[in-house]
Amino acid sequence: MERLIIISGASRGLGFALAKQLIKPDTLLVSIARSNNSELAALCHQANATYHYINADLARPQGTELATQQLSDLCAQHQNLAHYYLINNAGTVAPMAQAHQLDDPKAIAQALQLNIGSLMSLSACFLAHTPPEADRRILNISSGAGRGAVPGWGVYGATKAAVDYFTQTLALEQPNVRSAALAPGVIDTDMQASIRQTDSDYFPNRERFISLHQNQQLASATYTAEQIARYLTNDAFGQKTIDDIRHYF
């Protein structure tokens, strides 16, 4: 075994598509999610890769703590590998609402915890429990929404802006760890379906996303994952801390 790859939110959407792209015989693939994807486990078995599932709700501090405890134990058992990759992919676009409508503190707190809090905790665990002499890489899935304001995405955009800032800080503090915050573009996933179903009073840009879907202008999760997997494993990964995968295809 040569590689340990950890992916949060790997049970569906972009995370699942990324996991499928990164399965190789020399890989221990760790999925952190609320549900186990049996197809992912079967694909690892077929490819003679090792699969490990950590059942955790990263939108809750207790779930994140459970995940980091299990992850630290797992890393302690695999200290002699050449490559360690962490992909912080788990996230939510909810709650979608304009500033005067953000009246659900619990939903806001869960989004903050999932989109940025759990990312920080998993990164800290990864840094503390993987060998510094190895090839270590952290890929944080960000968004263009964190780089330009979008009405109705005050919470989502704020968390993604925080992802970018944290990644820049990480790059300064850990120069020997390759890291990047990557915007993946607009992808045809369940998140996009949720966006299209949101009342336009809460998300004024709804019609734009409906149009993108109707005109088949959404990138497929599989195609985007192919590009991101190539990006992550490239020798140049980490040279640009704030990045966008659409710059490469």
The CATH number assigned to the domain holding 20 equals 3.40.50.720
Q: What is the pLDDT of residues 109-126, one digit of tens each?
A: 999 999 999 999 999 999
Per-residue confidence (pLDDT) for residue 215, from 0 to 100: 85
Per-residue confidence (pLDDT) for residue 195, from 0 to 100: 87
Q: What are residue 135's DSSP bridge partners?
A: 83
Q: What is the pLDDT of residues 130-140, one digit of tens each?
A: 999 999 999 99
Q: The pTM is what?
A: 0.94
Domain count, the chain: 1
156 is catalytic: yes
Q: Residue 44's domain spans which residues? A: 3-247
Query: Annotated catalytic residue: which of 156, 165, 202, 223?
Result: 156
What parts of the chain have a pLDDT lower than 50?
A: none
